[in-house]
Amino acid sequence: MPDFSKLSQACATFIFAVILSGCNTTTDPSHEPEKQSSIDENEIKVKQNQSEKIHLFDRGCCEIPDNIDWQPNDATLEYYYRQTASLRLNTAQMYKVSPSSKPRKFKKELETHKVIDREMAKATILSYLYYDDGIVVYDALPPEDRFEYKFNNRSYFPSHSMGKSITSYLVGHAICQGYIPSVDAPIQDWPLMENTLYYGQPLINLLNMTSGDTHVIKKYDGNFIKTGRNIHGNAPLLKAARNSLELKDTTAKGGKRYAYSNLTADIIFNFMMHQIGTDFERFIKNFYQNKVKIEHPVYLWMNPLMDHSWSPTMKERIKQGAGQYGISATRYDFLRIAKVMMDDWQNDTCEGNYLKDIYKRSISKNNKDERWDSSDRRYGKANFGGLTRRYGGQFHLGVVGLRGRNLLHMNGYNGQQIVIDMDESRIIVIGAAKAKDYDTYKLGFEPIKYGRIR
């Protein structure tokens, strides 16, 4: 492998300097100052050993490709983790929700297991939580001597596509609070999306990824087919809506077949923002502070405005469609989000009935018959995302080997996973640097099915 050490250090320092130039470091006085996971030449010490030099990939600053068939070394895993964690400091592309004054607490009766120790020492998993019927049973982080960065309960993880499921849950709240009539309500009275394929379609089409947009956006991707532009990090939806090579004057094609799309989730999030309007900031703060009761700030990902303003207003973000489905949050705050979903389901609240409705209206993913023990592992170990048969309301459903169980699964790039077992009151929360290089079967499937790792 070429020696990327000097290049990677210089790149890291430059990227973080750009991010930090727009950073708002104000913190809530009721909480200790947030430790910034910035990158510095002295913080990542590239060892002389060839195997411990950082490998840079060409897919952007912050993601290791999940489809490579080898596990990157620890220096590379740490480098990319730090890059992703630092993105939340860019105020032009984030909206910060401050913590609750009374964060939700969890009872702990911690157990250990040799499988957890092995995976945390050698695999790409960086955070592991298992909650069982009111108690946190497994709570694991990498050994302190594995990385220069010391992971803790203040460490931030990206949702990536788990944010699609969280967006859907927020849509349920918007429906229950009267901002959106129902999941069958059409996408209308929204000037931004007029003359696009989404306008006039019922919301459920978008929630189930059946909006007929595969001729516009690449399936399982975020790039427009004709322009190659990625939907994230460079402009709001307004840019695509004005471009006839992207969304302007498009019509739906392909019928109601499942076709996973990052763009569809962004449309849902921005439609929700538009419907809520001037109440959006109150709405989102009430959700995270008073319902989820987060302990640390949560950062909503946003696209820059057309003028790339460093201090965008929410009014302009809504008008231009700058919202994204993703968030950055700490490990226990992801558990808190999952816990309130489970509470709503089990208590038959309005939001819980929304979750049950989209669950019942799920559709087939038409994927191949993969198994947990399959020998076809060209890109690594099996995970829940590849072993679910159905999709409903931005959740992956129908886990292979768990037929008959009411499970909601959230899946995100680079191995982010949350599984909620509504029947047995069990939750798995995993944060990782790369997918398919840790043992989801042992860490995820077994605890959900049997209650413990076997």
Mean pLDDT of the chain: 88
Within 10 angstroms of residue 357's Cβ, the number of other Cβ atoms is 16
Place of tokens 């991707």: 221
Most confident of 10-24, 25-39, 45-59, 214-228: 214-228
- Give the model's confidence band at 256: pLDDT under 50 very low, under 70 low, under 90 confident, else very high: confident
For residue 387 the two structure tokens come to 């072993």
Could you give the CA distance from residue 288 to residue 329 in angstroms, rounded to a whole number?
11
Within 10 angstroms of residue 319's Cβ, the number of other Cβ atoms is 16
Closest CA to 84 of 292, 262, 233: 233
C-alpha distances out from residue 366 to 126, 258, 363, 372, 415, Å: 31, 8, 9, 18, 22
Give pLDDT, residue 393.
98
DSSP 133-144: TTEEEEEE---T
Task: Check: pTM over 0.85? Answer yes or no.
Answer: yes
pLDDT digits (tens, 9 = 90+) for 136-174: 999 999 999 999 999 999 999 999 999 999 999 999 999
3-state secondary structure of 96: strand
For residue 21 the two structure tokens come to 């130039």
For residue 25 the two structure tokens come to 């470091």
Q: Buried b / exposed e across 218-229, counting CB within 10 Å, b at 16+?
A: beeebebeeeeb
| Cβ-Cβ contacts under 8 Å for 441 (sequence gap 6 or more) | 372, 381, 382
pLDDT digits (tens, 9 = 90+) for 257-306: 999 999 999 999 999 999 999 999 999 999 999 999 999 999 999 999 99
pLDDT digits (tens, 9 = 90+) for 370-404: 778 755 556 578 889 889 999 999 999 999 999 99
Phi, psi of 326, deg, nearest 5: -85, 160
